[in-house]
Structure 1
């Protein structure tokens, strides 16, 4: 060990200190730590790639060979009736086409309930146009969102902070059928979607990790569709929804390790929801303390779709399944700022209900994951990042484009290839800054309201 001397005029004392950098023991520990960190980095890299490949393979298997449904040819008395609930607010992009897809379902026994919060909503003329166009469809409009509940004390309170839940309460209570299909107003579905979803809901889970569990919720992957007025922010949103989000969403549901549900299109039974209180405590361990149950119990959450899925999974030990159909989400005028704040909102909403997953999210993105793996490879093998990163990003985007093709039913058109790639690159580069911005705050804006997300996942105005 080499020693360095430093003279200090402090009671005429000479301090002799070792140079730690030249200490062989310290160097050995530093090397061992670097090796371990690099190995962990590569293991994580392989794990995320495995998830991505699982999502890609499952998308190919599920969406490229969609079976013909047989339910529509069956007598209406032999299939369960379904109530389609569509909460509306304002004029969403392609609203007429979105809502019309509900009226055109190839299924013999269903009703359509369209609900708005007030009688001046701009969506109502569109609704009335459809009611006149399809007089033979059992459909009606419900006006008035808030339901007031009178507890034993005689107090009058509203359902909760979530405006979508408030808008759904009346159709939820008035629906004729037990099977409910909640569809957001900005999505359209193919005519056979309902029949195939009901078929899945009627059978037990076939997943090896969850044998013989009953399917309680059928949901659909969102596939973004650009419209004529789509702006650059919408293109970035399309690149996100149709590649990375879809890939990981499909992978998590294929692994079936926990609930992962996006609420654009969900089919479930009202009788199951009536047993839930949103506590995520198994039903047999819950105490009867007068806790609200059913859909109203989820009015205190902004991400009611995610919480309903988690509650079915953990409270009732039931499972979910994805249909082979997609929910087409029409994208219109969305600025890049709109896209950023939309992503910030949903990261903030779920960071307390899925804390670990949210914390790890930036380490699953292509840019940061590639940097981690490149540094690990260079330390362990000497392969430089100049060689590794181009290969990493090239294969990553090829996998993403394959997922896109599976969901779309065709490859990305050559006419929009460069626009899509630019939007894809912008999305990947914005992923970490957006996450950082989201993780540092608790306030969100949604549908004209401002909310504060609490640590238990609930929200307040």
Structure 2
């Protein structure tokens, strides 16, 4: 009986300490977000040349926002850059969109690469390999198809590329769009995702999501270039790990990445979150234990039970107060990341926030039970350490 009581108290102490640590993360993320995001850095002096940037745009298929998103790369206020569009198949409808934009902006240096080079199982790496090898400039920006750029976004990222910095990335966020799915996406990226992302950046922990990444080409070339990371699906994580292992700093820029995909529905978004969870589990197995405990509803229930065991507090009252305070902190963090008025009211936020928080643990459990990953029209199996094997190539939709 005595060992059981000690075990009970041990679990209660662990849950209460973990709960306290999660609140510390909340506070750090809010204050660091106010310090780091949406601030202007001193621009290079007029007599100093701006470094050139090669922008890699891997494309596959198209959606209703593709043309508008790609056009923002032609209209950036940056003096020296080239656009390298990478399309796997010549019959891809994105080819026409790119060719029309190249004709519309003849003064912008742009080139279209058709056909992928197989250097690994990662389709994105295969798609970008030729363009990376033929890129002209030392700084390379890898930018996903759904990213929308502001006129000064590239300049903002370059300003963070100091002599000791090897990789600058944007924290994932979303453009303002209408509908429940768009609200759900903005809440996730502005709360759960940004909370971990901001704290990881402050502590210099690898939490890199490679949807918009500026990096030094020469550092990658020392290790064989992009193709070295073709064996991973989460190439962004391992590229960042490589830079850190080589002694380079990595940092986020002040402007978050504005995702603006024309495909915006709940099922697609949840499938995306599940795929990311599978990748995290394969790369860092301890995620299986700690990630579910980072969810508001789960850690709140555990801490409520712990408080009743340790302090004889009312567990229901504790749980409800916990949820209310978590909700308020998430609202504060989201408005910090947004840096302006939100495109929805507090009631819409409440409904979507509750849906996100309640569905999060289920999506993670689903990722554990069904570990194979479907990425676009392919299916992969992951081994521990993140090495990927393609098991069902090129599903025809």
Q: Distance in 1 between matches of 2:46 and 2:97?
A: 32
Change (3 A) 1:164 1:226: same
2:34 is equivalent to residue 60 of structure 1 = yes
Superposed CA deviations along residues 322-359 of structure 1, whole A, max 9, x for unmatched, are: 11011101144444332332222111122121222343
Partner of 1:223: 173
Of the candidates 235, 238, 248, which is equivalent to residue 318 of structure 1?
Answer: 248
- Residues 234 and 333 in structure 1, CA contact (< 8 A), matched pair in contact too: no
- Residues 280 and 287 in structure 2, CA contact (< 8 A), matched pair in contact too: no
- 1:101 CA displacement: 2.0
- For the residue of structure 2 that corresponds to 1:92, the secondary structure is coil
Partner of 1:19: none
- Residues 233 and 338 in structure 1, CA contact (< 8 A), matched pair in contact too: no
Alignment map for 1:213-252 (pairs within 5 Å)? 214-228=164-178, 230=179, 232-252=180-200
Of the candidates 449, 452, 459, which is equivalent to residue 378 of structure 2?
Answer: 449
Superposed CA deviations along residues 294-347 of structure 1, whole A, max 9, x for unmatched, are: 100111111111111112112x12220111011101144444332332222111
2:277 is equivalent to residue 327 of structure 1 = no
- 1:238 CA displacement: 2.6
- 1:106 CA displacement: 1.8
2:310 is equivalent to residue 380 of structure 1 = yes
Q: Distance in 1 between matches of 2:61 and 2:286?
A: 36
Provide the TM-score with structure 2 as the length reference.
0.93
Of the candidates 320, 323, 327, which is equivalent to residue 397 of structure 1?
Answer: 327
- 1:120 CA displacement: 1.3
Alignment map for 1:98-117 (pairs within 5 Å)? 98-117=69-88
- Residues 43 and 159 in structure 2, CA contact (< 8 A), matched pair in contact too: no
- For the residue of structure 1 that corresponds to 2:168, the secondary structure is strand
Alignment map for 1:164-313 (pairs within 5 Å)? 164-203=124-163, 214-228=164-178, 230=179, 232-256=180-204, 258-276=205-223, 293-313=224-244
- 1:445 CA displacement: 0.7
Q: Distance in 1 between matches of 2:76 and 2:108?
A: 10
Q: Distance in 2 between matches of 1:39 and 1:141?
A: 58
Q: Distance in 1 between matches of 2:302 and 2:32?
A: 27
Q: Highest Rg: 1 or 2?
A: 1
- 1:68 CA displacement: 5.6
- For the residue of structure 1 that corresponds to 2:90, the secondary structure is coil
| Residue segments in structure 2 that go unaligned for 5+ positions in a row | 391-397
Change (3 A) 1:130 1:417: farther
- 1:79 CA displacement: 2.3
Q: Distance in 2 between matches of 1:366 and 1:328?
A: 26
Q: Distance in 1 between matches of 2:247 and 2:288?
A: 24
User: What is the RMSD of the two structures over their aligned residues, measured on CA atoms?
Assistant: 1.9
Q: Distance in 2 between matches of 1:432 and 1:359?
A: 12
- 1:192 CA displacement: 1.5
- Residues 300 and 319 in structure 2, CA contact (< 8 A), matched pair in contact too: yes
- 1:226 CA displacement: 4.6
- 1:159 CA displacement: 0.5
Change (3 A) 1:347 1:320: same
- Residues 189 and 326 in structure 1, CA contact (< 8 A), matched pair in contact too: no
Superposed CA deviations along residues 389-426 of structure 1, whole A, max 9, x for unmatched, are: 2221111122111121112111434x443223212111
2:282 is equivalent to residue 352 of structure 1 = yes
Q: Which has the higher contact order (CA 8 A, sep 6+)?
A: 2
2:357 is equivalent to residue 428 of structure 1 = yes
2:22 is equivalent to residue 48 of structure 1 = yes
Q: Distance in 1 between matches of 2:22 and 2:64?
A: 35
- 1:69 CA displacement: 5.0
Q: Distance in 2 between matches of 1:275 and 1:355?
A: 29
Q: Distance in 2 between matches of 1:411 and 1:329?
A: 18
Aligned residues: 390
- Residues 284 and 385 in structure 2, CA contact (< 8 A), matched pair in contact too: no
Q: Distance in 1 between matches of 2:68 and 2:194?
A: 23
- 1:29 CA displacement: 3.7
Q: Distance in 2 between matches of 1:331 and 1:358?
A: 30
Partner of 1:417: 346
Change (3 A) 1:93 1:423: farther
